Structure 1
Amino acid sequence: MLGVVVLNFLLIRLAPGDPATVIAGEMGGATQEMLESIREDYGLNKPLMTQLWIYVSGVATGDMGQSFFFNQSVTSLIAARVGPTILLVLTAQFLSILLGVFMGVIASRKPNGILSGFVSVFATIGYAVPVFWTGIMLIIVFASVIPIFPVEGMQSVKLRNASYITQAVDIAHHLVLPAFTLAIIYLAQYARLSRASMLEVLGSDYIRTARAKGASEGSVLFKHALRNAALPILTVAGLQFGNLISGALLVETVFNWPGMGRLAFDSILRRDYPTILGVLFFASAMVVIANLITDLSYRWADPRLRGR
């Protein structure tokens, strides 16, 4: 995490653009005196290494700095946005793993059948199509042609004072399109991966033994084979979590979802360095935690690791 903080800080500072010019433009003027005053107020006129030391020292004590544009602490800004992003990312992860693995397991029963071919074609298309294009197409179809889902936002304004159950249903209704948009590309990958992993496991001796003992096909597929085929899926799930967070930036922009991705997008346009760095820090922390959970889940999936 220390390496992430330092590298992100240096990369952001080396990127083109001057936040003082953006701030002055928002204030209605950009004279040289005003620019110098803004740089002094925000510490932008100090040497780069001095700025880095001040920033790292602040992060070490929990101070992510003050937003240039929103005039709030970065910690409070992210605290208000991290919940919607986690909800979107975890929902998309759950849908992609659940549906992808189910499709892969069913396709592995007849590797040369129609369903197996459909999974392969769907996986190729789903992986190739850009996530923002998928979001736009879903908006056109399910919010314009067949208007059954909301087109933007996380919650209807008129229901914000309703009961908790009504609000939860409304949020779930708003969540459908962005979650499926983010899930489709990874659903295709899990389908192909689980199909290939299941085909390898189904050729094992213990699977033939289970069938010889009269075990049902569902028990063979989901109890015996899937658990042993799950390790590659768990590995990819942990690695793909970071891609889900980066994909959430585009999805949140398309659907105007009030999460960290949308906050990062607005901050990039306004050269709001502290907010950008704060979003990158929390996103990196989420990826580290996801990889740790993935490592721990190996012990559940593979009994051979529990005694080590």
Structure 2
Amino acid sequence: MTRYLAGKLGGALVSLVLVVVLGFLLFRVIPGDPVVTMTRGRPVGAEQIAELRARLGVDKPLREQFVDYVAGVLRGDLGTSYVYSRPVLELIGERLWPTLLLVGTATLLAVALGLWLGIRGAWRRGSRFDRVSTGVALTQWAMPTFWLGMLLSMATGDLFPSGGMRYPDTPPDFLSQSVDVAHHLVLPCLTMIAVVYAQYLLVMRSSLLEEMHADYLTTARAKGLRDDLVRRRHAVPNALLPTVTLVFLHLGLVVSGAITVETVFSWPGLGLLTYEALTGPDLPLLQGTFVVLAGAVIFMNVLADLAYRVLDPRVRAA
């Protein structure tokens, strides 16, 4: 187990190093000059622009910028935002909770809905329920998230708020704030669920169909177990294994997947922060959010490997 864990952590560390390097190079090829963007429409001279470049550090050769960037990452300093003039880690910390609330809620509901529909559809393969649920899931999976969000916003009208996380005039007590946030959460959360749950449904359905005619299920039926018990105690636990990896991967990708949803609904999370950083481009903020998002995916991959080892005895034996 120690050797297995060390190998996974070593691979994760190598991946994280590559992410740091890629995070620096990737955003240097984005068209646009942050200094020009920041001074657009303002009467500034060449000397002021040169001074601003020197202050931001973009006048240095690329190699020196990379060395400064890596040194900052090793110190736990992701730099200072060009636009907000605040530490990047501080901005990310402020926006992390709204994203976790939105994406965490949507992911939990999507997993529960997708697994339930996938299990019922596979166990009743070819039925009307199976055809309808699979068809609807595939249709919604093919929809662009931002387009579906705008449709839901127009369809519901004034029933649910279409922007922000809370109203400014909401009383400051906990209950009022919670109800207000939950009211604002409905549309963005529903948008994410409608698109994401199809993946869990399809993977669960496919995995369960592969288990349907396994010998151990035939033995369980021969012992006199009811069909519900055969499905719940034997078929579903084995069919869940491929879904575990998908769930952990999505938990790592939840932040990046919320960029379009947060932008459409002006939800003040990391997704909207990343979109705002792209319009600059705000290089330190882009690099910081990229490292955080990629680090979350790497961390969840390691957890998925460890969970797989615990859940599947065949992995431990190998």
TM-score (norm 2): 0.89
User: Residue type matched to 2:172 in 1?
Assistant: N
1:208 partner SS? helix
Q: Could you say if the C-alpha distance between residues 182 and 215 of structure 1 is closer, same or farther in structure 2, counting changes exceeding 3 Å?
A: same
Equivalent in the alignment of 2:23: 8
- 2:172 aligns with 161
User: For residue 64 of structure 1, what is the aligned residue in structure 2?
Assistant: 78
Report the Cα distance in structure 1 between the residues aligned to 2:207 and 2:237, rounded to whole angstroms: 11
Q: Distance in 2 between matches of 1:223 and 1:149?
A: 41
Q: For residue 39 of structure 2, give the secondary structure of its aligned residue in structure 1.
A: helix
Question: Of 20, 24, 37, which aligns to 1:22?
Answer: 37
Q: Secondary structure at the match of 2:281?
A: coil
Match of residue 152, structure 1, among 160, 163, 188: 163
* RMSD, matched Cα: 1.8
Q: 2:96 aligns with which of 67, 70, 82?
A: 82
Partners of 1:29 and 1:50 lie apart in 2 by: 30
Aligned to 2:7: none
1:256 aligns to what?
Answer: 266
2:255 is the alignment partner of 1:245: yes
Whether the aligned pair in 1 keeps the contact of 2:115 and 2:200 (CA below 8 Å) is: yes
**Residues 1:160 and 1:271: Cα distance change in structure 2 (over 3 Å):** farther
Query: Hey, what does 2:130 align to over in structure 1?
Result: 116
For the 8 Å contact 1:132–1:254, the answer to whether it is kept is yes
Aligned residues: 303
Q: Would the aligned equivalents of 2:253 and 2:296 in 1 still touch at CA under 8 Å?
A: no
Q: 1:228 aligns with which of 221, 238, 245?
A: 238
Paired residue secondary structure (1:13)? coil
1:38 alignment partner in structure 2: 52
Separation of aligned partners in 1, 2:235 and 2:20: 42
2-side partners of 1:32 and 1:218: how far apart? Answer: 76
Q: What does 1:213-224 align with in structure 2 at a 5 Å threshold?
A: 213-224=223-234
Q: In structure 2, do the counterparts of structure 1 residues 239 and 78 end up closer, same or farther at CA, with 3 Å as the change threshold?
A: same
* Whole-angstrom CA distance in 2 between matches of 1:221 and 1:128: 30
- Between 1:7-16 and 1:99-108, the stretch displaced more is 7-16
Question: 1:279: Cα distance to partner?
Answer: 0.8
Q: Is the 1:108–1:116 Cα contact (8 Å) retained in structure 2? A: yes
Deviation at 1:113, TM superposition (A): 0.5
1:190-229, aligned counterparts within 5 Å? 190-229=200-239
Deviation at 1:148, TM superposition (A): 3.1
* Superposed displacement of residue 25, structure 1: 2.3
Moved more, 238-247 or 283-292: 238-247
Query: How far apart are residue 304 of structure 1 and its match?
Result: 4.2
SS in 1 for 2:63: helix
Q: Which runs of 5+ in 1 are unaligned?
A: none
What's the secondary structure of 1:170's corresponding residue? helix
**Displacement, 1:207?**
1.4
* Cross-structure match for 2:298: 288
Contact kept? 1:21, 1:30, Cα under 8 Å: no
Cα distance in 2 for residues equivalent to 1:38 and 1:217: 72
Matched letter for residue 9 of structure 1: F
CA distance in structure 1 between the aligned counterparts of 2:65 and 2:47, rounded to whole angstroms: 22
Is the partner of 1:198 in helix, strand or coil? helix
In 2, the alpha carbon distance for the partners of 1:41 and 1:148 equals 48
1:103-130 Cα offsets, whole Å, 9 max, x none, are 0100112211101111221132122110
Query: 1:47 aligned to 2:58?
Result: no
| TM-score, length-scaled by structure 1 | 0.92
| Structure 1, 252-261 or 170-179: larger mean CA deviation | 170-179
Distance apart, 1:305 and its partner CA: 4.2
Question: Residue by residue, what CA displacement relative to the aligned partner does 1:159-217 show, whole Å, maximum 9, x if unpaired?
Answer: 35112x44233322322221221122221121111111111112112112222333333
Cα distance change on mapping 1:58 and 1:111 into 2, 3 Å: same
Q: Go from structure 1 to structure 2 and tell me whether the alpha carbon gap of 1:306 and 1:167 turns closer, same or farther (over 3 Å shift).
A: farther
| Contact kept? 1:159, 1:167, Cα under 8 Å | yes
Query: Does structure 1 conserve the Cα–Cα contact (< 8 Å) formed by 2:253 and 2:293?
Result: no
Hey, what's the Cα distance between the residues in 1 that align with 2:107 and 2:46?
49
